[in-house]
Amino acid sequence: MALSLPTTVAPVAIRTPDADVDPAFVGRWSSRSFSSEPLAPDQVRSLFEAARWAPSASNLQPWLFVYADDDETLLRARPIVRDSNRRWADNAPLLVFVFARRKHAKTGEDNRLAAFDTGAAWMSLAIQAHKLGLVTHAMGGIHHDRAYEVLGVPKADYESLCAIAVGRRDAAERLPEDLRARETPSIRRPVAEFAVRGAFKGA
Ligand SMILES: Cc1cc2nc3c(=O)[nH]c(=O)nc-3n(C[C@H](O)[C@H](O)[C@H](O)COP(=O)(O)O)c2cc1C
């Protein structure tokens, strides 16, 4: 299978890890400058293959990804995204809409970990994209009612969570000025603020 090799080196200078960690975790970031150049089918397959192997409670694999990657499907899918995100996401050659199956496939009981597990699958997809030199940007800002309707996903069975724009990073100069100013990797809270030994001692 011919996959393109990683090419993107993100401007991660302001991101300095405090411990040894695989560079993919620090190098991935959600830029908004997308080239509209279509992705190769092998790349798209690779992204979902990564998501496929995510862990999940009782191995239920509750995630559902509905994607748009050509003129016809993208034309229908773009209006699901809120206008504030469409300003940049309309350039992405791949839009992935993320749903979580609400119930346990066998028992029919509520799966309270469905969104958690689907989050793990999205992160696998995001890291794999980064390794392929691609960019991902998740968007909670979508019209969920339209997502069910346009994509034919039954609301009773699945919860609409978000969408993901995927593509190649383009020059930031092509973005509108206000977005260009935000086109930089963000920083993080220190580990000591969220990983505590023994018991929580208060915020
Ligand atoms: C579930 C989820 C929803 C998000 N929704 C939006 C969104 O609607 N619009 C947007 O511009 N960014 C959105 N983001 C991107 C976050 O703002 C971004 O991941 C966060 O600031 C950390 O930056 P980084 O991904 O560049 O490391 C979302 C991210 C996630 C994981």
Tens-digit pLDDT string for the chain (203 aa): 444 333 344 444 579 999 999 999 999 999 999 999 999 999 999 999 999 999 999 999 999 999 999 999 999 999 999 999 999 999 999 999 999 999 998 899 999 999 999 999 999 999 999 999 999 999 999 999 999 999 999 999 999 999 999 999 999 999 999 999 999 999 999 999 999 999 998 87
CB 101 within 8 A of CB 117: no
| pLDDT of 123 | 98
d(CA 75, CA 40): 19
Q: Ligand 1 centroid vs 30 CA: distance in angstroms?
A: 7
User: Coil, strand or helix: which one is 3?
Assistant: coil
Helix or strand run (H / E) with residue 126: helix 114-131
DSSP 93: S
Nearest to 67 by CA among 150, 170, 169, 168: 150
Domains of the chain, earliest start first: 30-171 (3.40.109.10)
d(CA 9, CA 23): 11
- Ramachandran region of residue 113, left (φ > 0), alpha (ψ -120 to 50) or beta? alpha
Distances (CA, A) of 193 to 68, 92, 153: 39, 35, 39
CA 165 to the chain's CA centroid: 7
d(CA 169, CA 36): 9
**Quick check: CB of 6 below 6 Å from ligand 1?**
no
| pLDDT of 6 | 38
With 0.85 as the threshold, say if the pTM is over it. yes
Mutate to test the pocket of ligand 1, among 34, 90, 137, 189 (most ligand atoms within 8 A of CB): 137
d(CA 185, CA 55): 28
Nearest CA residue ID for atom 18, ligand 1: 30
